Structures are given as C-alpha cells and as structure tokens.
Amino acid sequence: TTLRQAGFKVEIYPSATKLKKQLDYANNKGITWVAIVGENEMNSGQIALKNMGSGEQIATDAAGIQSILNHAN
C-alpha cells in the first residue's frame, strides 16, 4: 500500500507457484523490479529486490524498497 501511495505500480502474483514461473510472468509483462519474499527472507526480515534487466539483487527491509526504487529511476 505504501508503494502504491508513492505512485508505484504494484502487482502480487495470484497464486503460490514456483519462483521461476513468477519471474517469467514478470519478464513477459515487462516488469523491471520484483520483490522476492521466500522462507529465507521471512526468517531474516529482509526482502530481495531483483532488477529483471540486470539480474542485480539487493537485500533490504520493507522501509528500504521505496528508496532503492526512487534512486533506480
């Protein structure tokens, strides 16, 4: 909600399925950045933010996502 309020387009994949399928979906839609929250991220309190163009992946907390996305554009 916070990202939407800041003007970012946000989508949540509609079902629990393999990560590869979700990333393929994002690629097909031309989505630039994806947030990955798997078991490791849940345990560490971090979110993996992945740039789909470069493959770069950044670990951050929820508060850091907006800052990273603002500087990326």
**What pLDDT was estimated at residue 22?**
94
| Under 8 Å between Cβ of 62 and 47 | yes
pLDDT tens-digit series, residues 28-64: 999 999 999 988 888 999 999 999 999 999 999 988 9
Mean pLDDT on 1-30: 90
Residues 36/48, Cβ–Cβ less than 8 Å:
yes
Residue type, 56: E
Give the predicted TM-score (pTM) of the model.
0.82
| Mean pLDDT in residue range 12-37 | 93
Looking at residue 46, its pLDDT comes to 93
40 vs 6, 34, 35, 37, CA distance in Å? 27, 16, 13, 8
The three-class DSSP label of residue 60 is strand
User: What's the mean pLDDT in 14-38?
Assistant: 93
